[in-house]
Structure 1
């Protein structure tokens, strides 16, 4: 039995890059959902009341653009997984 080390290395390299890329994309989506308008805690009482009056901080939701980007990242992850399953099945 002879092992084709070049092919094995190629498969390992592609798998590593795809895994790191997919995990990074998913993590970017999670960060997009966790993002707030004010990333640092306000230090003065006036800043605290001003931060509490903003809609994103008051509702605890991420801004619309961050949520849209996060959903796009999740959709790309789902597409990559579906493509991988299609390659395995075919």
Structure 2
């Protein structure tokens, strides 16, 4: 049995990077939801935080679904 250490290393680095990106995007979405709630309490526009949260969560969903596609199709 032969292990491709280069391939294993590249999979590790890409998985780590994508994991960090998903966590950061999700965290930004949570912060945007908090800002949205604060905007509601101040009776100001909450369009910016709402759009930001939706985009962050949508990006998380896209990344997770693409990862699942790679696992199932591969």
Instruction: State whether structure 2 residue 55 is matched by structure 1 residue 72.
Output: yes
Task: Tell me the CA shift for residue 17 of structure 1.
Answer: 0.2
Runs of 4 or more, structure 1, over 2 Å off, are: none
**Partner of 2:10 in structure 1?**
10
Q: Deviations along 1:40-74, whole A, 9 cap, x unmatched?
A: xxxxxxxxxxxx7x314xxxxx8221111101110
The whole-number CA distance in structure 1 between the counterparts of 2:15 and 2:68 is: 14
Aligned partner of 1:30 in structure 2 is 30
The count of residues paired between Structure 1 and Structure 2 equals 70
Alpha-carbon offset, residue 89 of structure 1:
1.7
Q: TM-score, normalised by structure 2?
A: 0.81
- Quote the RMSD (CA, aligned, Å): 1.8
Inter-partner Cα distance in structure 2 for 1:25 and 1:18: 10
- Structure (1 or 2) with the larger CA radius of gyration: 1
CA distance in 1 between counterparts of 2:72 and 2:7 reads: 21
- Give structure 1 stretches of 5+ with no counterpart: 38-51, 57-61
Alpha-carbon distance between aligned partners in 1 of 2:2 and 2:68, rounded to the nearest angstrom:
29
